Amino acid sequence: MGLNVIMMGPPGAGKGTQAGRFARERGLLKISTGDILREAAKGPQTPAARAAKARMDRGELVDDDTMIAIVRDRLLRPDARQGFVLDGFPRTVAQAEALDEIMKERANGPLIVIDVEVPELELARRLASRRICSSCGANADPFGPSITCRKCGQPLVQRADDIQDVVLERLKVYARATTPVLEFYRQRPTFRIVNGAQAPEQVAHELDGMIDDAAAAAVRR
């Protein structure tokens, strides 16, 4: 049975970092919709790619149909059979409903939902100082003094949507569009909350325990 995890939480909560680590350690497919869109923005400038990039640069959400098609395609591929960790999806209730349908189609294990909670002031501080690699897009080590990427050695830059005005818009969009998704999942027995304001190692430790516990609880039901 697959281990299927979605990592919810506002921008800057550290969900991408934790999703990447957990997926690596457990041999699961990590799917970050933000990474997929940033990669697509570097490719051929189709009208759809241009429209998506413009929305991202303003801190707005890309439309549900596009996002659902991207995620559906990835989740139904054979390399997602062992399970997946989703980072950045679902961000709207319509996306969450579509994901339930995709899960029925996959018929491969429960959906474990983790909400990484971090106070808003701390998020704004983290996003202002976040740097990513200009070449491979990896997040820089938040505790390292490095000015180059630890993976490929290329220079680090600020993400286009991490400038202050856009950050505020993204936090607003999260509160408006994505908080209802938490309500959509909250009553499920596989829903867990982790305190993301702690040190990354502590978050990792608690998260691993929660995911294993939720998976075991789902099997017992």
Is 37 a binding residue for ligand AMP by CB under 6 A? The answer is: yes
The mark string for 99-138 relative to ligand AMP (x by CB under 6 A, - otherwise) is ----------------------------------------
Is 74 a binding residue for ligand AMP by CB under 6 A? The answer is: no
User: Is 170 an active-site residue?
Assistant: yes
Nearer to ligand AMP, 74 or 91 (CB): 91
Q: Please list every residue from 75 through 94 that binds ligand AMP, using CB under 6 A.
A: 88-89, 91
User: Is 91 an active-site residue?
Assistant: yes
Q: State which of residues 30, 74, 106, 170 lies at the interface with ligand AMP (CB under 6 A).
A: 170
Is 34 a binding residue for ligand AMP by CB under 6 A? The answer is: yes
| DSSP character string of the chain | --EEEEEE--TTSSHHHHHHHHHHHHT-EEEEHHHHHHHHHHS---HHHHHHHHHHHHTPPPPHHHHHHHHHHHHTSGGGTTEEEEES---SHHHHHHHHHHHHHH--S-EEEEEEE--HHHHHHHHHH--EETTT-PBPPTT---SB-TTT-PBEE--GGGSHHHHHHHHHHIIIIIHHHHHHHHTSTTEEEEETTS-HHHHHHHHHHHHHHHHHHHHH-
Nearer to ligand AMP, 94 or 197 (CB): 94
Sites of contact with ligand AMP (CB under 6 A): 11, 33-34, 37, 55-56, 59-62, 67, 88-89, 91, 95, 161, 170
Q: Which residues are catalytic?
A: 15, 91, 130, 159, 170
